[in-house]
């Protein structure tokens, strides 16, 4: 039972400015902004929604298949996929492009200035869901706009249940397009900000939108999450994290927990709690893919957090 994960593969270059942006950006001079920040600390992380989700699903014992597009500079990422035992059969190289990448500068107040280059991601529509075999579940995560629309339609045409996860790509779509994707999807997941935007753009309440899918999941950070299904709302508590190091990739870890629960027939309360736990395990480490608990350690952490067994 494979889960097809349509989304981005990206590099994240994270730099730390040992001062405060506010000391160097003068409000009265904002119309002629020209600043340079010395960043002695820098690290490069493997990221992207598809890469992060697949990494976490593999930790859980799932069988993720990544469907993504990469550029000429993807060699180190492809080698990493091989080392992790993650198939790259559906990772397409687009010649003459760069792999999607974010350049993030953080100051001492944790303010961030980010530049994002989509690169090969805008060609994600070149990948076709029907080219994969043995897939029983899917997810359409943030990716190129055309790819997200096409993959939603292709999953539905193939009769494969899938999660619609618009994420940071949500502003690319109008209300009609978002509603059409919801009606094609089996499940939908958004964070609380995205839920408000989804509601505004479609002109429908979250409760009404939940009627379009089997379950609509809204994450609320430290306040936990909510699962709307079967005309009711299930409140999921936030799992306590060992440390609060870096929120990058926490939403993707949560989604991996959702996919595992759906694929393995867990009830929604268990599925939501597992997803919450995966986010908590991630936030204790820097980067989207540097936490590495074993499956047994995940089960122990679930028992400690919620007082019940998972498997």
CA distance 285 to 288: 8
Residue 133 has pLDDT above 80, yes or no: yes
Closest alpha carbon to 91 in 57, 118, 66: 66
> pLDDT tens across 217-251, in order?
999 999 999 999 999 999 999 999 999 888 889 99
Neighbours of 89 (CB within 10 A): 11
Euclidean distance between the first and final Cα of the chain, in Å? Answer: 18
- Lowest mean pLDDT of 84-88, 111-115, 304-308, name the range: 111-115
Token output for 173? 């779509």
* Burial call 18-41: b when 16+ CB within 10 Å, e when fewer: eeebeeeeeeeeeeeeeeeeeeee
Contacts of 241 (CB under 8 A, 6+ apart): 280, 281, 283, 284
Q: What is the C-alpha separation between 265 and 93, in angstroms, rounded?
A: 35
Q: Which residue has the tokens 């992207």?
A: 48
Structure tokens at 46: 């493997």
Classify residue 85 by its DSSP letter.
T
Percent of the chain residues past pLDDT 70, beyond the cut: 100
Greater confidence (189 vs 34) lies with 189
Please state, in angstroms and as integers, the Cα–Cα distance from residue 232 to each residue in 35, 95, 210, 214, following that order: 51, 48, 10, 11
Q: Which whole-number Å values give the CA distances from 96 to 46, 76, 80, 99, 116, in the listed order?
A: 21, 17, 22, 10, 18
Q: Which residue has the tokens 């997803």?
A: 275
State residue 35's pLDDT score.
86
Write out pLDDT tens, residues 179-212.
999 999 999 999 999 999 999 999 999 999 999 9
Choice among 67-81, 107-121, 141-155, 177-191 with the minimum mean pLDDT: 107-121
SS3 content of the chain, % helix, strand, coil (to 5): 40, 25, 35
Q: Give the pLDDT confidence score for residue 306 in this predicted structure.
A: 97
Q: Output the pTM of the full model.
A: 0.95
Rounded to an integer, the average pLDDT of 270-293 is 96
pLDDT higher than threshold 80 for residue 110: no
Distance of alpha carbon 89 from alpha carbon 80, whole angstroms: 14
- pLDDT value of residue 28: 78
Name 230's Cβ contacts closer than 8 Å, sequence gap at least 6: none
53 or 102: whose pLDDT is higher? Answer: 53
The DSSP-derived string for 103-153 is EEEE-TT--EEEEEE-GGGGGGGGS-GGG--SEEEEEE-S--HHHHHHHHH
Nearest Cα to 116, choosing from 151, 77, 142?
142
Asked if the model's pLDDT at residue 85 lies above 80, the reply is: yes
3-state secondary structure of 145: helix
> Can you give the pLDDT at residue 246?
86
What's the pLDDT at 213? 98
Q: Give domain 2-11+48-100+120-306's CATH number out of 3.40.1190.20, 3.10.50.40, 1.10.1200.120, 3.40.630.30.
A: 3.40.1190.20
Residue 143's pLDDT band (boundaries 50, 70, 90)? very high
Structure tokens belonging to residue 283: 């936030």
Output 31 or 129, whichever has higher pLDDT: 129
**Spatial distance between the Cα atoms of 37 and 18, rounded to a whole number of angstroms:** 9
Q: Tokens 């859980």 — which residue?
A: 60
Q: Considering only CA atoms, which of 174, 132, 131 is closest in space to residue 149? A: 174
- pLDDT-based confidence at residue 27 (cuts at 50, 70, 90): confident
Strand partners for 117: 101
**Using CA atoms, how far apart are residues 121 and 97, in angstroms rounded to an integer?**
9
Cα–Cα distance measured from residue 224 to residue 107, given in angstroms and rounded to the nearest whole number: 28
259, pLDDT greater than 80: yes
């Amino acid at each position: 039972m494979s889960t097809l994960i349509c989304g981005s593969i990206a590099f994240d270059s994270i730099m730390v400015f040992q001062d405060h942006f506010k000391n160097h950006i003068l409000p009265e001079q904002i119309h002629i902004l020209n600043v340079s920040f010395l960043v002695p600390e820098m690290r490069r992380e493997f990221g992207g929604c598809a890469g992060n989700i697949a990494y976490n699903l593999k930790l859980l014992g799932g069988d993720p298949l990544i469907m993504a597009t990469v550029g000429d500079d993807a060699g180190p990422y492809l080698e990493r996929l091989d080392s992790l035992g993650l198939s790259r059969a559906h990772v397409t190289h687009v010649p003459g492009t760069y792999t999607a990448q974010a350049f993030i500068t953080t100051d001492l107040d944790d303010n961030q200035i980010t530049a994002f280059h989509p690169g090969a991601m805008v060609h994600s529509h070149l990948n076709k869901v029907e080219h994969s075999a043995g897939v029983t579940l899917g997810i359409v995560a943030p990716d190129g706009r055309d790819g997200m629309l096409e993959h939603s339609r292709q999953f539905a045409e193939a009769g494969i249940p899938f999660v619609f996860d618009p994420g940071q790509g949500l502003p690319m779509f109008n209300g009609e397009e978002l509603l059409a994707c919801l009606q094609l999807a089996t499940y939908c997941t958004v964070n609380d900000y995205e839920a408000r935007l989804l509601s505004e753009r479609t002109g429908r309440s979250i409760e009404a939108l939940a009627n379009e899918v089997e379950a609509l999941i809204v994450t609320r950070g430290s306040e936990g999450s909510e699962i709307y299904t079967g005309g009711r709302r299930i409140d999921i508590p936030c799992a306590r994290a060992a440390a609060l190091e870096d929120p990058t990739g926490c939403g993707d870890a949560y989604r991996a927990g959702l996919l595992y629960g759906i694929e393995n027939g867990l009830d929604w309360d268990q599925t939501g709690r597992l997803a919450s736990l995966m986010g908590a395990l991630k936030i204790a480490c820097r980067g989207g893919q540097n936490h590495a608990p074993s499956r047994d350690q995940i089960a122990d952490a679930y028992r400690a957090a919620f007082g019940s067994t998972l498997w």
